[in-house]
Amino acid sequence: MHSNPSVAPAGEGTLEDKLSRGNVFAVGCPARAILTNVTSRWGVLVLIALRGGTLRYSQIRRKIGGVSEKMLAQTLQSLEADGFVRRVSMPVVPPHVEYSLTPMGEEISQLVQGLTDWIETNLSGVFAARSAAAA
């Protein structure tokens, strides 16, 4: 019996609930937390990295430059908790753990990829703006 925020019974819910539901601008909006995870520094890169298919922990770490073990583990955990990443652990020695995108993860990673794609193709525009600002 998990709470389902999208189907709220009529006559139920506090004023604050009504204000924050479906409103990212509200302080308590639950979408903000998810957004924070997805758009976090390493979250973005992990989501994109896994678009190519299943990867092992060390493979992700090697693929993403500059990420520490701690942050990678932490990022993977939050993404897994939100249902964007699937973690499969093989009980063997040495340990073998595989990470992949869930269907939900595929969807959102596409949007994130769109963002990074736009930035990469418009890098020159941004730099032009910076130069103009400096002048």
Partner DNA sequence: CGGGATCCGTTACGATACTG
Partner DNA sequence: CAGTATCGTAACGGATCCCG
Binding residues vs a copy of itself (CB under 8 A): 2-7, 9, 22, 24-27, 30-31, 34-36, 38-41, 44-45, 48-49, 63-66, 80-83, 102, 104, 107-108, 111-112, 114-116, 118-133
95 binds DNA (CB under 7 A): yes
Q: How far apart are CA 129 and CA 135, in angstroms?
A: 10
Does 2 sit near DNA (CB under 7 A)? yes
Fill in the per-residue mask, 16 to 55: x = in contact with DNA (CB under 7 A), - = not in contact: ------------------------xxx-------------
Phi and psi at 65, nearest 5°, equal -70, 135
- Amino acid identity of residue 88, one-letter, is V
Strand locations in 1-127 (E): 55-56, 85-90, 96-101
Residue 51 DSSP class:
G
Partner in contact with 88, chosen from DNA, a copy of itself, none, beta carbon below 5 to 8 Å by kind:
none
Q: How far apart are the first and last CA of the chain?
A: 59
